[in-house]
A and B are shown apart, each in its own frame.
Chain A
């Protein structure tokens, strides 16, 4: 674990090494300073030797200045190293997450990923700083003081040989007992976050159903669990300080008792006894420090584990070694394609079953089918958002798995059913499609998507800020901005996954007209509920329960396909043609 994590120290290696070096120097000064001090007390003061006091005083002042300098340097480097390490960890995790496939993300859930990137990294950062400062400082202090103690009186110092192991074992015992409990707490924390996240995201539903009380109850439960488990974990750690004190105090008492006898027996000086006790304090406080560090390390061990889980996760979709870097054209072939979301064994439950399809470059394809007929699933295989379970999908005559993923997705533009805009201005959102697009290109794409007119009506036009989730534009406006965003990519294949559902019929027909006239060479795949949205397509695919039920033009399908006929009639009878409802004003 440590080895894996230490990879991310990277450019902060220098600071990470300098820190302990300065820490050691600082400790050396700290051991020297009491020695000088005892000289003032033992020699200078009793003899009232001002000259001697001044001499040692100057030495002491110099030592203090040096100790200060070392201390400041070690503190500075420690801060730099640990913050940098945390930065690298966060970066590595975020980069990794960006490479995740949806399967990977589903495994973790958003809230858990967020805790891992923030709380867990902060824990590890604190632990790392403690490790390079105090974990070094403790043992160095311990050894230096131990040497001094043995130098003064080896017999008495043997007490440390008993008390240090006792303390060590006790601390180890606490640590190993506390760890699984802290692990449990973090899991409960995830639950708590999840409840908050879902609540915030679904606040409209919560309020619409006046279920605030139910939500409070739900939160109360997870809150109680966190409370309970955290207490259990901390209760164990609460033994740390008292046990430390116990060992320190009783070592001091034993040294005093035996030391007193030695003094009376003449084999020890009083000055030596008081130095010995000073060192006893130093030895045991350095252990106390270590135990504090242990608590932090224990707490961070669970965090480190959770960070590594993110870093170790293998993206399920990635580039092959030699990839094709260019998409020839917008033709698409599905050959015997089957697909299942999970490890579904039963082929009857596959989301897609044995799909065979051929689409020529530049064609307009309509897809129609019932809810759950896997229309979205089908098109998501084209830009390789998911990998097929069986069979092959080819774009431009080449298996999508052979392309460089970036190249493939650059050529396949997809407007999703769930349209997401990001916080930022409209222009910034549009530039997702093409970072270098100038104002003119933006306007042109928006005109195609029938978005320009309403954007121009906003007081700040293209610089209008979009709130998170795009709540300050209506559903239809959001969809049109998303279409414009997709068009800016100038793709070879454009997929609209039911992405004009909230757009009114008038605008919808304008959009399709613009597609026909302005981007004739782009393959267009349109998933829709409205027959009129696909009626004029070159080919219409009727999907039913993951299988192709029919392919053909609207006219052909009206003759041959029962489902299509039903859908057509249901929409066209009555008010029907309204779908393309439209009027020149």
Chain B
């Protein structure tokens, strides 16, 4: 038993270790982005890097050639002919110019590639995020999601624009020097290769450690990010509870952890270079001694030893560079893995194929229309290729629906109900009875475990989510506003709405009055989630949004809870006209607002306890009756 546990622990450790090395699947995927969009530019970059590196290596050899072939023959001559020498210098100058141009080209093109790849990745992340189920946002800290967009993408930028070209260029340099070494002396090359093996071994050890901590560092930054977000968003609560010190204390803990991982990461990264360089120096000594012995025995010429020693020096540098850059590569890859995790996150399942289309009546038959007709229909393609149209009415049925946020904890049991076209259905019950949950099932924010929900007789699983949601208006408890003008915020419901339509919707919701009193009226810019507006004003905006949306089915989840009753009365008039001819689901605590419902559901612990209209329920003298009349007994 104990042993097994140990083994498991060991396995875990190993897994963790493998996480800190290069994951080639990620590299491949990244490269695909780069090559995919910029195939041509990518080829040019590779060629340019090779040219640039070769020019550099040629520069190293140039001096030897210059001295041996051009200067030595001229020494001691009466009238030395400088022209071959001049030609050589000129030739090298031309070579250098080509190298410099190549350097500029690859630097410049890498900007295109790296920024283009980043833009594509960011867009893919965001676009994919839009398809994720609500559950994803419930279970991931918002700050950490944001950190992926900033910190992880930044790390990727460093890698793409700096590390990759440098590593590639260093590898080319190493290769060309290695060739020169082999041609000079194969045995000494063996010594050098041994030295390189040692370098790689050390680089792997130090680099492994350092990248492990770099990965930790990125994770810790994500944590800091999440914590700050939460604390700033909750700043009012922090102040009210004098929680500043406590929140500082907790921050210090996370901050210290980040400092630790960052120190370790950078330390291992920093000592890598001196280690590599000095191994190079030792290798130099070693080769010098061996070479010296060999030359005494006339096995090697003095010239080739001297050249060889130069090569060692030139070789050590790029090895150091590569190992240094590997840190950033690994750190960026860890970020890339988080990015890909987001991109790979399972989408909201949408197997729906029934869509919502504009329709018109032609010879008593419903047909699809191209223009906006005000009449909508469900377009239902069948297996046999037939397409049928069904008028959008707003008829919603629940049949034995079970639901739980997690599979083993069911919060709604066996819900069966029917809301006919134009009916008002209300949910009453204690907090936590499952009222909001039911409404979240209609628009498929969450998917049910068992049972069926039908919309106009169509199983909602068959309806495309987007189209389903287009047919449902929702006014939520918390109004989310976006940075922009008031007008834009209302228009969020229908992006093509004219100013007039927006104002009419606001008037319907009775929001017009307060909006006109704002400094710039409808053009007042709200930012930071609309901090300047009261909760009630925000709800009015939310109702105006729904009014503009103009859906056949409306869900009002405590839509007026923060509006005072006087205003509510006025809003109610608008709401009544808004509700006319629509199927409406209402959740409200003020029983007066739901009294006229066609159907009232009394919920308790996720079950329907009672159902009926007001009169029926009152006659029943059950829980509804108690709720409705109980007040008198208490006071």
Q: Flag whether B80 is at the interface (Cβ < 8 A).
A: yes
> Which B residues are CB-close (under 8 A) to A476?
430-432
- Are A504 and B589 in contact, CB atoms less than 8 angstroms apart? yes
Does the CB pair A368–B564 fall under 8 Å?
Answer: yes
Of chain A, the residue at the smallest CB distance from B142 is: A200
Q: Assess whether B263 is in contact with A505, with CB atoms less than 8 Å apart.
A: no
Cβ contacts B216-252/A at 8 Å (1 or 0 each)? 0000010011101111111111111111101110011
> Which of B146, B285, B432 is within 8 Å of A477, CB to CB?
B432
Q: Which of A189, A208, A273, A472 contacts B405 (CB 8 A)?
A: A472
Residues of B within 8 A of A577 (CB): 629, 631-632
- Measured CA separation A158–B585 after assembly (Å): 87
Within 8 Å of chain A (Cβ to Cβ): is B147? yes
**With A40-B288, A105-B232 as contacts: A245 and B476 at CB distance below 8 Å:** no
* A57 contact from B288, B296, B535, Cβ within 8 A: B288
User: Which residues on A sit within 8 Å (CB–CB) of B309?
Assistant: 37, 40-41
Contact partners of A241 in chain B: CB under 8 A? 103-104, 107
A372 partner, pick from B104, B230, B514, B595, beta carbons under 8 A: B514
Of the residues A211, A226, A245, A467, contact of B495 by C-beta under 8 Å: A211
**With A234-B111, A383-B240: A79-B266 Cβ-Cβ less than 8 Å:** yes
* Cα distance A40–B150 in the bound complex, in angstroms: 52
Contact B103 A245 (CB under 8 A): yes
The reply to whether A563 and B263 form a contact with Cβ atoms under 8 Å apart is: no
Give CA–CA (A330, B130) in the complex, Å: 50
B258 surroundings in chain A (CB, below 8 A) = 87, 90
CB-CB under 8 A from A246, the residues of chain B are 100
* Contact residues of B: prevailing secondary structure: helix
- Is B438 an interface residue, CB under 8 A from the partner? no
- The reply to whether the CB of B194 lies closer than 8 angstroms to some CB of chain A is no
B293 at the interface (CB under 8 A from A): yes
Report yes or no: B239 in contact with A250, Cβ–Cβ below 8 A. Answer: no
Contact of A205 among B99, B476, B627, B633 (CB under 8 A): B476
- Contact with B145, one of A46, A200, A219 (Cβ below 8 angstroms): A200
CA distance A53 to B359 in the complex (A): 95
Question: Are A205 and B480 CB-contacts (below 8 A) given A372-B536, A422-B234?
Answer: yes
**Chain A 551-585 near chain B by CB (<8 Å), digits 1 or 0:** 00000000000010011001100111111111111
State whether the Cβ of A163 lies closer than 8 Å to any Cβ in chain B. no
Judge whether A456 is part of the interface by a CB distance below 8 angstroms: no
Interface presence of B329 (CB below 8 A): no
| Nearest CB of B to A186, in Å | 11
Chain A, 253-284, CB within 8 A of any chain B CB? 253, 256-257, 260-261, 263-264, 270, 273-274, 277
Q: Are A409 and B562 in contact (CB under 8 A)?
A: no
A499 to B86, CA, bound (A): 89
A310 to chain B, nearest CB (A): 11
Contacting residues of chain B (279-336) with chain A, CB-CB under 8 angstroms:
281-282, 284-285, 288-289, 291-293, 295-296, 302, 305-306, 309, 313
CA separation between A383 and B274, bound complex, in Å? 58
Interfacial chain A residues near B443, Cβ < 8 Å: 207-208
Q: Inside 8 A of B630's CB, which chain A residues have their CB? A: 506, 580-584
Give chain A's interface secondary structure class: helix
Say which residue of B226, B236, B281 sits within 8 Å of A418 (CB atoms): B236
B15 to chain A, nearest CB (A): 26
Binds A, one of B23-31, B113-121, B452-460: B113-121
Interface size class of B (residues with CB under 8 A): 35 or more
Point out which of B281, B629, B635 has the most chain A C-beta atoms below 10 A from its C-beta.
Answer: B281
Give A475 to B429 CA distance when docked, in angstroms.
Answer: 13
A432 close to B405 (CB less than 8 A) = no
Query: Which residue in chain B gives the minimum CB-CB distance to A383?
Result: B240
**B493 within 8 Å of A (CB atoms):** yes
Question: Which chain A residue shows the least CB distance to B280?
Answer: A64
Q: Is B528 an interface residue when CB atoms closer than 8 A count as contact?
A: yes
Q: Return A1 CB to nearest CB of chain B, in Å.
A: 22
Nearest-Cβ distance from residue A343 to partner chain B, whole angstroms: 11
Which of the 9-residue segments A112-120, A148-156, A171-179, A353-361 touches chain B? A112-120
Given A45-B305, A119-B151, A211-B495, A102-B236 contact (CB < 8 Å): yes
Could you tell me if A91 and B271 are in contact, using CB atoms closer than 8 angstroms? Answer: no
A507 surroundings in chain B (CB, below 8 A) = 430-431
Cross-interface CB contact of A256 among B89, B274, B528, cutoff 8 Å: B89
Please indicate the chain A residues that have their CB under 8 angstroms from the CB of B472 in the complex.
208
Per-residue interface assignment for chain A, residues 71 to 95, with 1 indicating a CB less than 8 Å from any chain B CB and 0 otherwise: 1101110111011101100110011
A410 at the interface (CB under 8 A from B): yes
- Among B82, B119, B473, point to the contact of A261 (Cβ < 8 A): B82
Which among B133-141, B183-191, B367-375, B417-425 touches the partner chain? B133-141
User: Does the CB pair B66–A204 fall under 8 Å?
Assistant: no
Q: Assess whether B215 is interfacial by the CB under 8 Å rule.
A: no
Against B, the Cβ 8 Å flags (1 = close, 0 = not) of A454-465 are 100000000000
- With a CB–CB cut-off of 8 A, which chain B residues contact A113? 228, 232
Least distance between B177 CB and chain A CB atoms (Å): 15
B527 within 8 A of A: yes
How many residue pairs link A and B with beta carbons under 8 A? The number is 519
Residue on B nearest A191 in the bound complex, by CB: B483
Q: Chain B residues with Cβ under 8 A from A193's Cβ?
A: 146, 149-150
Q: CB distance A61 to B634 under 8 Å?
A: no
Min Cβ gap B141→A in Å is 5
Contact with B along A471-490 (1 / 0, CB 8 A): 11111110010000110010
Tell me if A45 and B241 are in contact (CB < 8 A). Answer: no
List residues 577-609 of chain B with CB under 8 A from any CB of chain A: 589-592, 595
The docked-state distance in angstroms from the alpha carbon of A385 to that of B269 is: 47
B204 within 8 A of A: no
Q: A129-B266, A249-B100 are in contact. Are A122 and B151 (CB under 8 A)?
A: yes
Q: How far is the CA of A37 from the CA of B67 in the complex (A)?
A: 19
Give B94 Cβ to nearest chain A Cβ, in Å: 10
Query: Given A109-B527, A117-B228, A270-B71: A26 and B274 within 8 A (CB)?
Result: yes
Interfacial chain B residues near A530, Cβ < 8 Å: 565, 590
- Please pick, from B99, B137, B246, the residue contacting A245 in the complex, using a CB distance under 8 A: B99
Min CB–CB distance A119 → chain B (angstroms): 5
Report yes or no: B131 in contact with A432, Cβ–Cβ below 8 A. no
**Complex contact B103–A207 (CB within 8 A):** no
Residue on A with the closest CB to B558? A502
**If the complex has contacts A227-B116, A581-B630, are A71 and B123 also in contact, measured as CB distance less than 8 A?**
no
* Cβ-based interface call for A220 (8 A): yes
- Asked if A189 contacts B150 (CB within 8 A), the reply is yes
Return B590 CB to nearest CB of chain A, in Å. Answer: 7
Closest to B221 in A: A118
Give the residues from 422 to 478 in chain B that come closer than 8 angstroms, CB to CB, to chain A: 429-432, 436, 443, 445, 465-467, 469-470, 472-474, 476-477
Instruction: Please give, as numbers and ranges, the residues of chain A lying within 8 Å of B139 by CB-CB distance.
Output: 467
Q: Does B193 contact A (CB under 8 A)?
A: no
| Cross-chain contact B230 with A114 (CB below 8 angstroms) | no
> Which residue of the partner chain, among B143, B226, B281, B476, contacts A64 with CB atoms under 8 Å?
B281
Name the CB-closest residue of A to B251: A94
CB proximity of B233 to chain A, nearest CB, Å: 6
B74 in the interface (beta carbon within 8 A) = yes
Please, which residues of chain B bring their CB within 8 A of the CB of A83? 259-260, 262-263, 266
With both beta carbons as reference points, the residue of chain A lying nearest to B534 in the complex is identified as A372
- CB under 8 Å from chain B, chain A span 33-68: 33, 37, 40-41, 44-46, 48-50, 53-54, 57, 60-61, 63-65, 67-68
Closest-CB distance, A280 to chain B (whole angstroms): 11
Please tell me if A136 contacts chain B, counting CB pairs below 8 Å. no
Q: What are 24 A-B contacts with C-beta separation under 8 Å?
A: A40-B309, A60-B285, A61-B282, A80-B267, A90-B258, A91-B252, A98-B238, A113-B232, A114-B143, A117-B224, A198-B483, A205-B492, A245-B103, A256-B63, A263-B75, A273-B67, A341-B532, A406-B242, A468-B226, A567-B566, A570-B566, A578-B629, A581-B628, A582-B630
Top-4 shortest CB links A-B: A71-B274, A476-B431, A75-B270, A371-B536
What 5 new A-B contacts, CB under 8 Å, besides A567-B564, A580-B630?
A: A106-B528, A196-B126, A207-B469, A249-B93, A372-B536
